[in-house]
Structure 1
């Protein structure tokens, strides 16, 4: 018989007992054997005694049940306590109403009545990379706990995972990390230093690495002169990363420390990879990581976690601008060697989409130089084509006003470029190293990788291009423009006897330099002014470049309107945006214009792309402010002090919010890195 049935059984017995007594007294009353007063008294006595009996039965039953429940709850509490598990119950407003014994022992302070969010403020939430698992990870007084919230039940479970965490941490600390370290300008040092000085430099670098091994747990081996293979564990790697790898930057030295008069630097780049146990894959990724560092300008560290995007450290420091032209000279000699091949008839030059004066000028001038050089040096006739049909407003206006100096047949569509492209076509990409930034997606399908060259001054976002042979790309992030690089190529391979370049082509190069330096207000070095001086000797005039860059009153009004809407996202960083359609070069002009105000470190201008449901962001920076990192954070890229990005599917508000977040979260000043 169950508990409920027993209660009803006892209740019925008492009821029958009462009825029998009542019937008996009623019969006695009718037989006049008992008075009515006595009958009433007996009835009251019967009722009270029956109720007392029933209450006694209920009390015995509930007391026994309570003891059973108490024993059960105590048993459950002891079991979960022995398994290092605690439980908290709270009201809907967050107030704690009950805690298990495990909580009482581990957290002696009285939590009853406190808010559930307040009791965990003293502890520390652990970074997700330290331990895996569901729930929140929480550390307090040497213990590590996993907190899991059951919001629909107003409950929280707390599990002690200290042992599990220790095992996992030890495993994580010993995970293998492989890296490569390279002297960025080693080939330059080889070509400029004497044997004794070069030996001193190599000895200094090796001694520096030996010193680091005394502090940090890693091993290294030099497998080629100037290149070192490094192996360490995740614990040591974390220490290096927490210090932003500053110990490598501290090893920069000036060559005059060795008694060498030219002021140059020993610049180190590194690449580290982790995340898998496949050594062969780690080796390849380490090479990719260091190549990523070098294509972005060198003197920095790239970290690849397998499956994640690369992380870059020290990217606010560029290789010193006194870098020798030896590498450019080497690549230009390779270019001229391809040009000397009689089977090479066509030269196709690619600028980026919406070509500006820099892309246009560098393509035209380099193409003219190569045609003239082939004719004069090799007695060969070459056909020159520029594959660009989209231009920004400034370049378009220049083409219209100088149509007498330009053959329109020179500018071809992608379909025509594909028709001319074969294994004997010389292809040159200028002012970009990104395949996606040129107009022709099939530009390299039928081409010979040995006959493809790149000359650019922007940092490469996607890594080293795969569509050309190694050594055929020259990316100098310290150059002001592609026009500056082309000027150096022509100067390195010209002589006083013969001019390979017309004054008009020289003017186009100077226009490109004036554009990308904002008329020598940014991104300039000694080489920039030297290139401008050479172009002046070749017939270019600064007044013409200034006149070319003048804007109309209509454009000025647009720029002025945009600049008046600017907001300061953080000190020195100003953002302005509009939903109106504006030409891309006008957006860039607005960013340059806004930067002219004192106290501004960086400017960001966003506007709708003409004819598209997309938005363009143009960024400009000064005073060693790296705006390219911010552009990369929203899917763009560019140069140290000039960068851009374009929205994908975001609305204007979403795109603006993403850029705001990137500006706030990225540390840009060199003294903070």
Structure 2
């Protein structure tokens, strides 16, 4: 009886109130039929009784059969599910590893055993696993991270999940999907824009035959290079080309370090037609418009850095630079200087006040060019001032200010940063001279207030850190100084009766040219001497320039001490280190680097010294064989191929030297 009741045990889903109610109704109707039949006739009642008994019997039997079949089905299904779980655990393409609290391996499934090369790992430590696999598991346990991590185990790329509370590691082989993703990434499109830097300059001095030969040479060289890397090349006009390539081919070009730059420069130089190329390449978006705009921006960056280089940038990522091994070619024509001068004149007419500021610790080039911009603005009746704190000046700038005060020359030229912030309005204009980086601008408060109304005038190579939407940009890396550029603009302004500059202001600008050209010995072209000649013609005094640049005995001794610490690295690089407890003027550091560069066997020099209690300055100089700009950019600075610098905060001189050595090693490996 107990077995029968146990077998009659209904499963939970059968024990439904609606089913019970239906059964009761059927039995009740059968019983009512029996009573009614009995009242009609005994024989009919007996028949209805038999029908009632049969109904009850078949109902009970039907429930019994349903219970038996349901229990059998459930048991069979439960067995199949458990069997499926066991089969999946053992045979499915997912590696499973169990470990205990001591990180001892307790069990691995057969699929994972393949990755372990059938080695018996049970009972051993997790440390005996593949090095990369163990590191990822240990990192996940340490960080309490259950997110998926992608690693490489042997030839396989795997995704792992670690559940440390259960002591389980799941390893999924995604090699096939990784290959699909890699193929997708390799086939993505990159857009490049190629520009011949000095095509216009050379074409003006060439005959038709030579010009045709030069054009054919460039076309053939670029076609050969594009064919070598399966890229598509299309000439847009005389000095512009379009380059399309897949990412896999772009990576090959990067590995080749865009040797086309060196080839064109060297082979064209042999023919006395020195050509250089600037290239901007972009990728990383589904929108071709976005990629093409980024490519143009990269080309502008390459040109702003002096040309002869390639800028490759993924949208939203940092740029990579290749080339830049030559100094920028001087432009003989002054067309751009005249156009910029006129454009600047129009901007000034729409401004209610013009503010001009140089970089931090401004030198004579920054101050001289700033004075020149102020004078241009005032010619057109616009209020203008140089932002400068007269209580904190380099010794040469301090001498200039005292000289101007003694002579009673324009006492209202300079204004303090606090006054400038208060006076500035939405219609004011800010001009940055001798720099383009926000991080080194003289006063960041006025920059932040006027960053939407900016003009940049500079002679340093443009870096990644650059104002977003300047109203006008005039960057010419070939120029010796910013004073040279501003002098050319002044020549295109209405001179008036007394001219634009008085003798002392002209002297300040001549001093700026003299300082940055290292007394006309560095980056000096014909236009440099033209600018200096013009300044001399309007009264610039070379004796006053010599006075401004005179060095004090104390500074001379500091510079001599820096030179005495020379440490040669890589046989041709000199590193000078100042005393960590002593503060040096920026000019002294720069002069020490210049002095070291003049020594025999030195191709590049680096002077490291403390500029303030919290900042270390590094000045770098080169003969041109080593691109010190790239080295300084690795440390957050910039400049020219042969003249660059950077500032490092909150470190010691020895730490700065160590970081410099790492940057030099990185540069040498890349080149």
Structure-1-length-normalised TM-score: 0.69
Find the partner of 2:357 among 346, 350, 356.
350
RMSD: 4.9
Task: Tell me how far apart the structure 1 counterparts of residues 451 and 611 of structure 2 sit (CA, whole Å).
Answer: 33
Question: Which residue in 1 is equivalent to 2:319?
Answer: 310
Per-residue deviation, 1:319: 2.9
Q: Is the 8 A contact 1:569 1:664 kept in 2?
A: no
Alignment match of 1:403 (pick from 370, 381, 405): 405
- Matched-pair contact (CA < 8 Å) for 1:425–1:448: no
The answer as to whether partners of 1:627 and 1:640 remain within 8 angstroms in 2 is yes
2:394 alignment counterpart: 392
Report the CA distance between 1:244 and its aligned residue.
0.7
CA distance in 1, matches of 2:656, 2:270: 49
Task: Say whether the 8 Å CA contact 2:377–2:383 is kept in structure 1.
Answer: no
* Cα distance per residue 1:181-203 (max 9 Å; x no partner): 22334565687778887777666
Which of these residues, 332, 345, 370, is aligned with residue 363 of structure 1?
Answer: 370
Query: In the alignment, which residue of structure 2 is the partner of 1:59?
Result: none
Aligned position for 2:446: 442
Q: CA shift at 1:356, angstroms?
A: 0.7
Please report how far the alpha carbon of residue 439 of structure 1 lies from its aligned counterpart in structure 2 after TM superposition.
1.5
Check whether the contact 1:295–1:464 (CA below 8 A) recurs between aligned residues. no
1:319 equivalent in structure 2: 328
After the TM superposition, which residues 598-613 of structure 1 pair with which residues of structure 2 at under 5 Å, given as runs? Answer: 598-610=600-612, 612-613=613-614
Of the three residues 162, 166, 175, the one matched with 2:188 is: 175
> Would the alpha carbon gap of residues 363 and 269 (structure 1) be closer, same or farther in structure 2, given more than 3 Å must change?
same
Picking from 255, 269, 291, the partner of 1:282 is 291
Give the CA deviation at 1:480. Answer: 1.5
Which residue of 2 is the match for residue 237 of structure 1? 250
SS in 2 for 1:364: helix
Deviations 1:105-145 (A, max 9, x none): 9999x9x9xxx99x99xxxxxxxxxxxx96875878xx999
Q: How many Å apart are 1:661 and its aligned residue? A: 0.8
**How far does the alpha carbon of each residue in 1:2-36 deviate from its partner, in whole angstroms, 9 at most, with x for none?**
xxxxxxxxxxxxxxxxxxxxxxxxxxxxxxxxxxx
**Partner Cα distance (1:86, 1:443) in 2:** 58
Q: 1:520 to 1:446 in 2, by over 3 A?
A: closer
Structure 2 unaligned spans of 5+:
1-85, 98-108, 122-126, 132-147, 163-168
Indicate yes or no: 2:419 matched with 1:416: yes
Q: d(CA) in 2 for partners of 1:304 and 1:663?
A: 23
Partner of 1:477: 477
Take 1:467 and 1:622, find their aligned partners in 2: how far apart are those partners?
Answer: 35
**Per-residue deviation, 1:546:** 3.1
Mapped partners of 2:95, 2:628: distance in 1: 50
SS in 1 for 2:619: strand
What aligned pairs does 1:621-636 form with structure 2 within 5 A after superposition?
A: 621-636=622-637
Partners of 1:595 and 1:603 in 2: how far apart?
6
- Asked whether the equivalents of residues 350 and 429 of structure 1 are also in contact (C-alpha less than 8 Å), the reply is yes
Contact 2:404 2:504 in 1 (8 A): no
Displacement of 1:218 after TM fit?
A: 1.7
Residue 416 and residue 560 in structure 1: after superposition, are their counterparts in 2 closer, same or farther (change >3 A)?
same
**Number of residues of Structure 1 aligned to a counterpart in Structure 2:** 564
The equivalences for 1:624-663 within 5 A come to 624-650=625-651, 652-663=653-664
Question: Do 1:217 and 1:232's aligned partners in 2 also have CA atoms closer than 8 Å?
Answer: yes
Q: Relative to structure 1, is the Cα distance of residues 300 and 256 closer, same or farther in structure 2, using a 3 angstrom cutoff?
A: closer
Change (3 A) 1:81 1:550: farther
Aligned pairs (5 A) from 1:71-470: 137=152, 166-185=179-198, 205-222=218-235, 226-252=239-265, 265-338=274-347, 341=349, 346-368=353-375, 371=378, 374=379, 381-389=381-389, 390-405=392-407, 406-422=409-425, 425=428, 427-436=430-439, 437-443=441-447, 445=449, 449=453, 452-462=454-464, 465-469=467-471
- In structure 2, what is the Cα distance between the partners aligned to 1:268 and 1:598? 33
Q: C-alpha distance in 2, partners of 1:510/1:663?
A: 35
Structure 1 pair 257/641, CA: closer, same or farther in 2 (3 Å)? Answer: closer
**Equivalent residue, structure 1, for 2:511:** 511
Q: Secondary structure at the match of 2:412?
A: helix
Distance verdict in 2 for CA 1:158–1:323, change over 3 Å: farther
**Following TM superposition, by how much is the alpha carbon of 1:177 offset from its aligned partner in structure 2, in angstroms?**
2.0
Gaps of 5+ in 1: 1-75, 88-99, 121-132, 150-155, 375-379
Alpha-carbon separation, structure 2, partners of 1:82 and 1:454 = 64
Show the counterpart of 1:38: none
TM-score, normalisation: structure 2: 0.69
8 A Cα contact 1:422 1:448, kept in partner: no
Query: Using the alignment, how far apart are the partners of 1:540 and 1:248 within structure 2?
Result: 42
1:461: how far off? 1.7
Residues 658-669 of structure 1 mapped to structure 2, 5 A cutoff: 658-667=659-668
How far residue 388 of structure 1 moved from its aligned partner, in angstroms, is 1.8
Task: List aligned pairs for 1:531-610, cutoff 5 A.
Answer: 531-571=531-571, 572-577=573-578, 578-610=580-612
Residues 523, 641 of structure 1: 8 Å contact kept: no
Question: Helix, strand or coil: the match of 1:504?
Answer: helix
3-state SS of 2:264 partner: coil
Task: State the partner residue of 1:69.
Answer: none
Which range moved further: 623-632 or 528-537? Answer: 528-537
Q: Deviations over 1:472-510 (max 9, x none)?
A: 211111212112222333345578997433332222122
Distance 1:492 1:254, change over 3 A: farther
**Residues in 1 aligned to 2:450 and 2:606: alpha-carbon distance in whole angstroms:** 40
Distance 2:493 2:547 in 1: 30
Please give the per-residue CA displacement for 1:385-424, whole angstroms capped at 9, x wherever unaligned.
Answer: 1112253232123322442234332111234334554466
